[in-house]
Amino acid sequence: VQLQASGGGLVQPGGSLRLSCAASGSILRIINMGWYRQAPGSKRELVAVIRSSNSTKYGDSAKGRFTISRDSNKNTVYLQMNSLKPEDTAVYYCNADLLFYGGNQKGGWGQGTLVTVSS
């Protein structure tokens, strides 16, 4: 599974960032696709996930501030992050569970993109 994440960077508290994750390959359908994050010394945690039904699930830290969306034509998922806090600083990882032409279903992780929230 090839996932290319982008959009991380340095932002001031209260600011916004949009992360993108593009899946490539002979993809028939995105089953699940979303974002997790891992701060130094912490476990990887769910940020948000969107399912093939377009239902979404958010981690507690993301509720009310982050929005996940997708463009199925581009096999891309977006994470709009608003009202960012220093505690949002982490490496954000894209995760996907994909169904490929030919019937293979595979899951995997992207390379991670660093988000730093600091003044």
Per-residue model confidence as pLDDT tens digits over 78-92: 999 999 999 999 999
Average pLDDT over residues 103-117: 93
Which residue is associated with the tokens 């293979």?
104
Neighbouring C-beta atoms of residue 93, cutoff 10 Å: 20
The mean pLDDT value of the chain amounts to 95
Reported as a pLDDT band with limits 50, 70 and 90, residue 5 is very high
Residues in Cβ contact with 63 at an 8 Å cutoff, skipping those fewer than 6 apart? none
**Of 57, 37, 62, 58, nearest to 113 (Cα)?**
37
Average pLDDT over residues 61-90: 96
Average pLDDT over residues 103-108: 89
Distances (CA, A) of 15 to 63, 66, 79, 80: 16, 12, 14, 11
Residue 103 pLDDT > 90: no
